[in-house]
């Protein structure tokens, strides 16, 4: 397998002989998600305490948002941000589509998921993966 590069909307992904190199903004995105999650969790907790004192049902909305962001926080922690992934550490690799966006899911041997979002030409990438990664699920 030779070197092949695919464009992302903000970056690129290169398949080298023995590794995948991803250049995207995943670390910045994860940091933003984690900061927002912590802020909403704190706001939800504060609103719940205030709800216990006042009984206003509107305050429970912030609690619900806080719970959703807590789940987002957990899912973010379960994802990998690695930019260089050796092929022998990959459990599975698949191109997926949800609504109008395409992304590449790379499941690592430690069961962490490395998601590459905003894939430009997903059909070409899917064909490349189908051709070159037959032994990987």
For residues 113 and 76, is the Cβ–Cβ distance under 8 A? no
Neighbours of 86 (CB within 10 A): 12
pLDDT at 1: 57
Per-residue confidence (pLDDT) for residue 64, from 0 to 100: 87
Q: Cα Rg for the chain, rounded, in angstroms?
A: 19
Is the C-alpha dihedral spanning 125, 117, 85, 111 positive or negative? Answer: negative
Q: How far is CA 131 from CA 37, 72, 74, 125, in A?
A: 39, 34, 34, 10
**Cross-strand bridge partners of residue 74:** none
- Helix intervals (H) in 24-105: 26-54, 59-77
Ordered by start, the domain boundaries in the chain are: 4-24+83-132, 30-77
The predicted pLDDT at position 58 comes to 82
pLDDT along the chain (137 residues), means of 10: 83 92 92 92 89 85 86 91 93 90 92 90 89 73
Architecture of domain 4-24+83-132: Roll (2.30)
Per-residue tokens: 28? 């910045």
- The angle at the Cα of 126, spanning 125 to 132, to the nearest 5 degrees, equals 85
pLDDT at residue 82, rounded to an integer: 92
Residues shown for the chain: 137
């Amino acid at each position: 397998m030779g070197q092949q590069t695919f464009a992302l909307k903000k970056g690129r992904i290169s398949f080298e002989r023995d590794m995948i190199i991803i250049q995207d903004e995943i670390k910045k995105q994860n940091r933003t998600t984690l900061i927002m999650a912590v802020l909403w969790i704190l706001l939800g907790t504060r609103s719940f305490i205030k709800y216990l004192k006042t009984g206003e049902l509107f305050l429970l909305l912030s609690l619900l948002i806080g719970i959703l962001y807590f789940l987002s926080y957990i899912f973010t922690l379960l994802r990998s941000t690695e930019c260089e992934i050796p092929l022998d550490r990959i459990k599975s690799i698949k191109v997926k589509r949800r609504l109008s966006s395409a992304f590449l899911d790379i499941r690592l041997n430690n069961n962490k998921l490395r998601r590459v979002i905003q894939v430009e030409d997903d059909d070409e990438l899917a064909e490349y993966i189908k051709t070159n990664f037959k032994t990987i699920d």
